């Protein structure tokens, strides 16, 4: 079954769902298109009423939403609650600020006057991943609904209950039929949706492979797209870093959401002078985490999202070792029921090892020792990805200089890659293009129209 909810803590099937028939899919697209025809004419205040109401309801129902997520994809319950609250904040942020972000912008041509105005473009198709089952949805719903577009969303196969709960949230908030629609559809149906004339833009968050496939399809149809793809963020530790501050961030950066975060710290690049101390303390801290029930607040490490994700990650580690890497911590599944993996550190990952360019989507850290700051930057930039990254140093100006030289969409000094509603999120290279969140996130799927008035003589 393509849409199955399985608890990764114990492998039990919770619920499964049939995919939509083509006829059902068509009915949902008709409803979305119909809704757009009226929604695009609504005022910001009318849109904000529904989006802010969804934010409020989500804020009131944190425990219920978080519980569904933890059961379905194994996120530790306190992290799950944090995600629900953050999703509510994102919706509220756009309800409050969309009108200001999309206000007409005066231009200053040499002759006459001109302005840019922003208008919605239609039904937007979102394809979203399981690792942040609500936050990813809020990142598209907040801005694009407030801009006057409507949404049809294909969520990941392993989180159908979260997908359905989020759709229901909008119904409860008073959304008209067709404003926000969850589509339980196959990849082949998804291709048809991208091709469909009623769809005017495509927003995908997911793997590089999915991005290539869907961006190509959108391109063939000359439709705008935004791609939020994978990452292999560098965590640079310079010799003057404060390890008491750095180590907890290193652990959090790699282990938050059991390491299944696009902008997680994945490559630890440490200047030689401090490398032994860093590695000793990092290994000890990772080794102290214990697998347990993600619903139990005392648990320090949850399972991976699915058994297949675990199997794939273990294979990646084995392949890395077969090509010369060494495991100095973990490397195996935890012997107990559920899809758990020991926190793992790989060293000696040479440049010709396929792992060097891989994304490890789980609790696996690659450790690299470098001579100095320049070598750290060179190594950080030697990646197909360009999502985020961090640098740890006591000298903030030095941190800023390093941040400017790392070729990514985001850099963080003395903390790890993270997002806030107000700050644009996104990457370069294989990490994709376009930005979500902040002011930029609402500009992706709007028509920026130039309107000019100039009193000039008619041509003769
Ligand atoms: P994935 O396999 O690409 O799945 C993501 C979504 O794309 C799911 O809804 C999936 O549906 C769908 N999908 C995949 N191939 C498709 C196709 N050919 N046609 C239509 N839909 C397709 O990604 P994942 O491995 O689950 O998620 C983790 C990846 O997402 C990582 O690489 C991570 O770094 C990235 N990510 C990036 C960001 C960011 O903001 N940059 C944020 C979070 C995650 P099914 O489940 O039905 O296959």
**Token pair 């000094």: residue:** 413
pTM value? 0.97
Would you write out the chain's pLDDT as a tens digit for each of its 460 residues? Answer: 689 999 999 999 999 999 999 999 999 999 999 999 999 999 999 999 999 999 999 999 999 999 999 999 999 999 999 999 999 999 999 999 999 999 999 999 999 999 999 999 999 999 999 999 999 999 999 999 999 999 999 999 999 999 999 999 999 999 999 999 999 999 999 999 999 999 999 999 999 999 999 999 999 999 999 999 999 999 999 999 999 999 999 999 999 999 999 999 999 999 999 999 999 999 999 999 999 999 999 999 999 999 999 999 999 999 999 999 999 999 999 999 999 999 999 999 999 999 999 999 999 999 999 999 999 999 999 999 999 999 999 999 999 999 999 999 999 999 998 899 999 999 999 999 999 999 999 999 999 999 999 988 888 8
Separation of alpha carbons 233 and 252, rounded Å: 14
Ligand 1 and 137: CB distance under 6 A: no
The residue whose CA is least distant from atom 43 of ligand 1 is 262
> Is 35 labeled as catalytic in the residue annotation?
no
pLDDT for residue 304: 98
Residues 20 and 28: beta-carbon distance below 8 Å: yes
3-229+431-451 and 233-413: identical CATH topology: no
CATH fold of 3-229+431-451: Aldehyde Dehydrogenase; Chain A, domain 1 (3.40.605)
Considering the four listed CATH numbers 3.40.50.10190, 1.20.140.10, 3.40.50.800, 3.40.309.10, the one that applies to the domain covering 233-413 is 3.40.309.10
pLDDT for residue 33: 98
> Is 262 labeled as catalytic in the residue annotation?
yes
Ligand 1 and 128: CB distance under 6 A: yes
**Token pair 């039990």: residue:** 12
**Token pair 């750095």: residue:** 246
Separation of alpha carbons 181 and 170, rounded Å: 9
Ligand 1 and 130: CB distance under 6 A: yes
* DSSP code, position 134: T
Separation of alpha carbons 103 and 443, rounded Å: 11
- Tell which residue, 210, 39, 233, 222, has the closest CA to residue 126: 210
How do the domains of the chain map onto residue ranges? 3-229+431-451, 233-413
Ligand 1 and 408: CB distance under 6 A: no
The residue whose CA is least distant from atom 26 of ligand 1 is 129
From ligand 1's centre to the CA of 272, what distance in Å?
Answer: 36
Residues 6+ apart with CB under 8 A from 441: 139, 143, 424, 425, 435
Measured between alpha carbons, how far is residue 347 from residues 112, 232, 251, 264, 319 in Å? 64, 16, 17, 18, 13
């Amino acid at each position: 079954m393509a849409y199955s909810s399985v608890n990764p803590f114990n492998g039990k099937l919770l619920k499964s769902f049939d995919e939509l028939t083509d006829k059902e899919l068509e009915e949902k697209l008709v409803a979305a298109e119909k809704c757009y025809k009226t929604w695009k004419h609504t005022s910001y205040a009318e849109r904000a009423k529904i989006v802010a109401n969804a934010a409020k309801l989500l804020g009131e129902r944190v425990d219920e939403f978080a519980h569904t997520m933890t059961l379905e994809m194994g996120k530790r319950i306190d992290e799950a609650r944090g995600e629900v609250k953050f999703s509510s904040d994102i919706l509220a942020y756009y309800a409050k600020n969309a009108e200001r972000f999309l206000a007409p912008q005066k231009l200053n041509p040499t002759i006459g006057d001109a302005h840019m105005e922003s208008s919605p473009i239609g039904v937007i198709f979102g394809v979203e991943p399981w690792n942040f089952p609500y936050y990813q949805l809020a990142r598209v719903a907040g801005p694009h609904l407030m801009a006057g577009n409507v949404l049809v969303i294909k969520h990941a196969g392993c989180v159908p209950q979260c997908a359905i709960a989020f759709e229901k949230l909008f119904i409860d908030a008073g959304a008209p039929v067709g404003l926000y629609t969850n589509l339980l559809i196959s990849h082949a149906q998804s291709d048809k949706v991208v091709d469909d004339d009623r769809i005017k833009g495509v927003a995908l968050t997911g793997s590089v492979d999915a991005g290539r496939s869907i961006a190509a399809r959108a391109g063939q149809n000359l439709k705008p797209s935004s791609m939020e793809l994978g990452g292999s963020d560098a965590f640079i530790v310079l010799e003057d870093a404060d390890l008491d501050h750095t180590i907890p961030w290193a652990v959090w950066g790699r282990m938050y959401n059991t390491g299944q975060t696009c902008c997680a710290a994945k490559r630890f690049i440490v200047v030689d002078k401090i490398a032994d101390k860093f590695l000793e303390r990092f290994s000890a801290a990772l080794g102290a985490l214990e697998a347990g029930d993600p619903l139990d607040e005392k648990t320090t490490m949850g399972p991976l999202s699915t058994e297949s994700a675990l199997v794939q990650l273990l294979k990646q580690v084995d392949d890395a070792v077969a090509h010369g890497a060494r495991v100095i911590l973990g490397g195996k599944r935890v012997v107990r029921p559920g899809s758990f993996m020991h926190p793992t550190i790989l060293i000696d990952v040479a440049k010709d090892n396929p792992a060097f360019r891989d994304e490890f989507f789980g609790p696996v850290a690659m450790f690299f020792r470098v001579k100095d700051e320049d070598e750290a930057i060179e190594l950080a930039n030697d990646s197909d990805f360009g999502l985020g990254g961090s640098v740890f140093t006591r000298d903030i100006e030095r941190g800023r200089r390093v941040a400017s030289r790392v070729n990514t969409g985001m850099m963080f000094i003395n903390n790890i890659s993270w997002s806030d509603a107000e700050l644009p999120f996104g990457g370069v290279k294989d990490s994709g293009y376009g930005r979500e969140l902040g002011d930029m996130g609402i500009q992706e799927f709007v028509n920026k129209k130039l309107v000019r008035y100039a009193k000039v003589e008619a041509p003769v």
